Amino acid sequence: MHIIVCVKQIPDPEIPSAKFKIDPATKKVVPPAGVPPVISVFDERAVEAACQLKDKNGAKITVISMGQGKVADVVKHALSMGADDGITLQDSAFDNLDSYGTAHVLSKAIQKIGEYDLVLCGRQAADWDSGQVGSILAEMLGIPVVTIARNIQAADGGLRVERVLKDGYEVVQAPMPCLVTVSNEVGLPRLPTGMGIITATRKKIPAWTAQDIEIDPAQVAPEGAHTEIVKLSVPIRDVQCEIVTGKDAGEAAVELAVRLRAANII
């Protein structure tokens, strides 16, 4: 089985809110100084899901990531977890693409890779939280898609996938090739092993440009984007928290109950 996993590099989403900064003029997020970017949370789970399939059934895992600068770092991270090959997609034509443009670039890269049985994406990228690229990509590739998976098993020549629903889950049988978007329920990502890190460091990671995957920059030009961000702001929170105190924790707790009662909340 050949599994392609799409991973994105993002600013660390778990930094304290106080450190989060934007530039409203350019409508961009200012990456926090000194905090290295990370692999998007659900994409790391997608790598984990791919590794689980590899452990059980044997598979080759290829990781692809479109991005700028040190985007190879997230590919290396996936390699150190157990992926076999990695490719980055780097071209100034790929900067600031919307979901549709991103899916287009990924679809071209996947077509160049050629043979595959399964494409994995995260359920959503943990920066812009869109949750679109996986499904659009599947439509472009003309393959079935199963979204928000919590478990993926090889079965009956295809895949048996559990999808997270509001009040439970659904078990579906999908043929291959197909695309599955992965949720955190597949399990915590494995830690890279020492051996994995060494292999990852030595591995050559080709960087494909627009030309390599036959994309005419005009195809992904900003004027043609399907969506445009017209404003970016930081919401103002104006809640004043009333800190309830006492001579010790127990007394503060009693006082809290009394105040909630007085305010008719309980």
Ligand X SMILES: Cc1cc2nc3c(=O)[nH]c(=O)nc-3n(C[C@H](O)[C@H](O)[C@H](O)COP(=O)(O)OP(=O)(O)OC[C@H]3O[C@@H](n4cnc5c(N)ncnc54)[C@H](O)[C@@H]3O)c2cc1C
Q: Which of residues 96-125 bind ligand AMP (CB under 6 A)?
A: 99, 102, 106, 121-122, 124-125
| Closer Cβ to another protein, 198 or 229, answer by number | 229
97's CB contacts (< 8 A; 6+ apart) are 66, 104, 105, 220, 225
Please tell me whether residue 63 adopts helix, strand or coil conformation: strand
Handedness of CA 108, 113, 119, 122 (dihedral sign): negative
| Closer Cβ to ligand AMP, 130 or 244, answer by number | 130
Contact between 13 and ligand X by CB under 6 A: the answer reads: yes
Residue from the set 135, 199, 203, 205 that interacts with another protein by CB under 8 A: 135
Contact between 247 and another protein by CB under 8 A: the answer reads: no
Letters for 22-41 (x = contact with ligand X by CB under 6 A, - = none) are -------------------x
| Closer Cβ to ligand X, 13 or 246, answer by number | 13
Q: Smallest Cα–Cα separation from 125: which of 102, 94, 109, 104?
A: 102
**Region from 67-75, 124-132, 191-199, 201-209 binding another protein, contact rule CB under 8 A:** 124-132
DSSP 226: S
Residue from the set 3, 38, 145, 215 that interacts with another protein by CB under 8 A: 145
| Closer Cβ to ligand X, 14 or 156, answer by number | 14
CA angle 206, 140, 76 (to 5 degrees): 25
| Closer Cβ to ligand X, 122 or 192, answer by number | 122
In the chain, what is the greatest distance between 2 CA atoms, to the nearest angstrom?
70
Please report the DSSP string for 82-103 in residue order.
T--EEEEE--GGGTT--HHHHH
**Region from 31-39, 40-48, 160-168, 248-256 binding ligand AMP, contact rule CB under 6 A:** 40-48
Contact between 35 and another protein by CB under 8 A: the answer reads: no
Query: Do 148 and 34 contact (CB within 8 A), yes or no?
Result: no
Contact between 175 and another protein by CB under 8 A: the answer reads: yes
Contact between 126 and ligand X by CB under 6 A: the answer reads: yes
- Rg of the chain in Å (alpha carbons): 22
Structure tokens at 163: 């999808």
Query: Do 185 and 43 contact (CB within 8 A), yes or no?
Result: no
Query: Do 38 and 12 contact (CB within 8 A), yes or no?
Result: yes
Residue written as tokens 């080709």?
Answer: 206
Q: Which does 8 bind (CB under 5 to 8 A by kind): ligand X, another protein, ligand AMP, none?
A: ligand AMP
- Interface residue list for ligand AMP (CB under 6 A): 6-8, 40, 42-43, 65-67, 99, 102, 106, 121-122, 124-125, 128, 130-134
- Interface residue list for ligand X (CB under 6 A): 13-14, 41, 126
